[in-house]
A and B are shown apart, each in its own frame.
Chain A
Amino acid sequence: MKRIKRILHVAGNDLRIMVGDKIFFFWTLAFPILFIVLFGLLYKAGDNAPAVAELTVVNLDQGRWGAYFVEKIKAPNLELTMAASEPAEFSRLLVLPADFSAKIEARRDQALAFKKRSGASTKAAARVETRLYQTIARVLCELVLYGEGDLTKFLDGHPEFRDIVRVESRFPEKTVTVVPSGFDHSIPGTTIQFIMMMVIIYGGISVLEDRKKGVLGRMLFSPLSAGDVYQAKLLGRWSMGLLQALMLFVVGRIFFRLNLGSVPLALLVIAVFALAMAALSVFIGSVCTKEDMIIGLAVLLANMFAGLGGCWWPNEIVPPAVRKAAMISPAYWAMDALHKLRFFQGGFPDILPHLGVLLTLAIVLAIVAGRSFRIKD
């Protein structure tokens, strides 16, 4: 019992020193919040494409079919801008040629030019393109249905096209009922990334400095053994990761209405993940001899793991091979578990495999870190 108390005391002291550092709050709170805001706004729900997708239409048609076609394109999520000629600036452009009506009335096939500006929203472009295909399908159906005779009189009156088949969309039962906000993705993603970065940098450097300055050696004059010192260091870095996650979740809840699904289970995921990172930080701090090496390694590992693990962008847009490769990243397992909890309202059984992987990693890293932990250089 006394031994545990001593370990807790050293770990608590480590945490107190780190929290006492003024720059600690920049790293743990201010900078991650900048990331959260940036990525949250970028992947805001329903905002991957603008709420209303723009389409510029140049209707050069000299007959009536051009206007009829434009009327059919109109939809609530589409903003049509009419232009007399091709403008210099546009996101998406449809050109109806001068002989558009003439060709339809002569039943001659034609291809309509649809131009998408590269760099404009891909999703908005897909939405507009799909709408154009739907319009073409609708007009063709009407022609097949009612276009037997003289097509010049077609627009004088014909029965309305009926949408017999409709599509209804929703989310799976017992999951979410509204589209989760971009912050529900960016806050866990940033938290995971900064736990990696912070715990490795702060945790690693302090292990290195304590060793170099002889602090670790002096601790052995107390009733602590080398194993106790190691466990205390591990615990200190683990609690630092947990503290950072708690701060970001609380800020996320207050300012961005963060919803984690099950909070206790989300914290459990973070706890196991932070333990793995704490062990990694002690390992790196034990084997590196220079502060810059630790910072470099931390930035490299944290960014690669975060990028692969889905902390920055939705994993769905990632090629299948990279998605498979992502499984080597601990961030992937943590993010996937947090997604299960948030987006699928999952429970403990749903995240059990993730916890298993992260815990195994934490144990392996803890063993490796324990073996390489040195009191003196």
Chain B
Amino acid sequence: MRRLLLVLGNDVRRHLKSPLAILIYMVIPLAMTGLIGVIFAPRTEGRELPPIPVLLVDNDKGLASKLLVSSFDVDQMKKMFQVTVTDEADGRKRMGRGQASAMVVIPKGFTVDLLEARPVTLLVVKNPAEQFLPDVVEEFMNTMAVMLSGVVQAFADEVRGIRAMLDLKVDSFPWETLGPEFGKAQKKVVAASKYLNPLLLRLKTEETKAPGARRSFTQADLFSAILPGMAIMFLLFIVQTLMRDIISEREDGKLRRMMTTPLRPLELIGARIFGGWVMGVAVLLVMMAAGTLVFRVTWGPFGDFLLLGAVASFWTAAFFALLHALVRNRNQAGALSAPIILAFSLFGGSMMNPEVMPKAFKMVGVLTPNRWFIDGAAAVRQGRFPFVSLIVLLVSGLVLLALAVPALRRRTSV
């Protein structure tokens, strides 16, 4: 045991002397978590999307089109849309360059057609490179269309009066007839106000979570959900780097020399696996501390998470011990390790929320340590003990260890 600890201590000192590669691997998950967290953070204003750039082309320049254009000038709309009023030629040019999410074109004769209650079509030109925002503009215009259709029908008589006014000369218009018309319109406005002020029907939108889940989702929650996935991915990278000593020592002859000392092969193997495990836990603790300080990540009960981290780290050390026992040289180990880690991470949910993955990807994900670690971390965060994750990682880790030790013994004997 003393010899095992001596080897372990020596290994730790050696790795701490040139820690740059390990430091880079520790920076990556934090940088990635920061980037994804900033992009997908819940907006403070309660909106899920950034302001939508919209081009507005008024080819009509009549009363109705001006009313429509001014509807974008309301405070709530200003927050949702970033409107630029322009002419059609410039609008088409800008849309051709993808400088807006959508362009709304009000056709010529819009006001007259509305006044005569003739069907009229508003055109929404959508940016083909965007997937979400143009549809929001289209649906907003659909709602406006319903409201405009309603107004035109509600004030059909008055609208006809306005239409006649537009056709006649000022001196030939019978102004005295306007009085009773205004009176009728006033009655309609008063009648309409019964339904519109306050609105007879409103929608009270509420975002809910699955039973037992927290009510609000903050940026820190997002970081808390992302970082464990990133942490396990780079834990795999770091531990495989540390465990590569198993092969490099065999290749450069150090192993042969070490075996001339009273050190037994089993002690050396134990030191390597134990070293990978201990340093894996240390790396996880550093990432945990950095995540807490930089992103205010919540991990749940510290003891539970530490236990999960220790078991995941043990699994990682056992896995790479077996892999390094099976490969012939360092190049082969390097060539195999990175693809395996990336495949684990892709299927296991380190690179993407497993819930949105296709079914086949999810099924493969169950075979990866990433998936169990991420699920376990989520359970700890929600205050549950990660029993299933711990059992799966521990049992499979022990199986890997049982396979790795005899294989490594064969490769260690000189």
Residues of A within 8 A of B (CB): 21-23, 26-27, 31, 34-35, 37-38, 41-43, 45, 48, 88, 104, 107-119, 122-123, 126-127, 129-130, 132-134, 136-145, 147-148, 161-176, 179-180, 290-293, 295-297, 299-300, 303-304, 307-308, 313-314, 316-320, 322, 339-340, 342-344, 350
Please indicate which of the listed interface residues B20, B96, B126, B200 has the most CB atoms of chain A within 10 Å of its own CB: B200
Q: Which of A38, A116, A143, A164 contacts B352 (CB 8 A)?
A: A38
A56 to B118, CA, bound (A): 36
- Interface residues of B, count at CB 8 A: 99
Interface residues of B in 308-364 (CB under 8 A from A): 334-336, 338-339, 342-343, 346, 352, 355-358, 361
A23 to B3, CA, bound (A): 38
Set of chain A residues within 8 Å of B141, measured between Cβ atoms: 167
Set of chain B residues within 8 Å of A42, measured between Cβ atoms: 352, 356-357
**B130 near A175 (CB under 8 angstroms)?**
no
Residue of A nearest to B205 (CB): A114
- B211 interface residue per 8 A CB criterion: yes
Supposing A129-B205, A344-B98 touch, asked if A21 and B335 sit within 8 A by C-beta, the answer is: yes
Tell me whether chain B's interface is mostly helix, strand or loop, or mixed: helix
Supposing A134-B146, A141-B154, A293-B20 touch, asked if A344 and B203 sit within 8 A by C-beta, the answer is: no
Tell me whether chain A's interface is mostly helix, strand or loop, or mixed: helix
A240 to B107, CA, bound (A): 53
Set of chain B residues within 8 Å of A130, measured between Cβ atoms: 139-140, 142-143
Given A48-B131, A164-B119, 5 new contacts (CB under 8 A): A26-B339, A116-B206, A130-B143, A137-B143, A316-B131
Residues of B within 8 A of A (CB): 18, 20-21, 24-25, 27-28, 31-32, 35-36, 38-39, 48-51, 92, 95-98, 101, 103, 114, 117-136, 138-154, 188, 191-192, 194-196, 198-211, 217, 237, 241, 334-336, 338-339, 342-343, 346, 352, 355-358, 361
Q: Which of A48, A114, A180, A319 contacts B128 (CB 8 A)?
A: A180
Of all A-B residue pairs in the complex, the 5 with the closest CB atoms, nearest first, are A141-B150, A296-B24, A292-B21, A343-B129, A130-B139
Q: Which of B49, B51, B123, B130 contacts A168 (CB 8 A)?
A: B123
Supposing A115-B208, A117-B209, A304-B32 touch, asked if A144 and B149 sit within 8 A by C-beta, the answer is: no
Supposing A145-B154, A293-B20 touch, asked if A114 and B209 sit within 8 A by C-beta, the answer is: no
In the assembled complex, the CB of B160 is this many whole angstroms from the nearest CB of chain A, namely 14
A290 to B118, CA, bound (A): 75
A145 to B151, CA, bound (A): 9
A162 to B152, CA, bound (A): 10
Q: Which of A48, A126, A137 contacts B150 (CB 8 A)?
A: A137
Supposing A144-B195, A317-B49 touch, asked if A296 and B25 sit within 8 A by C-beta, the answer is: yes
A68 to B32, CA, bound (A): 50
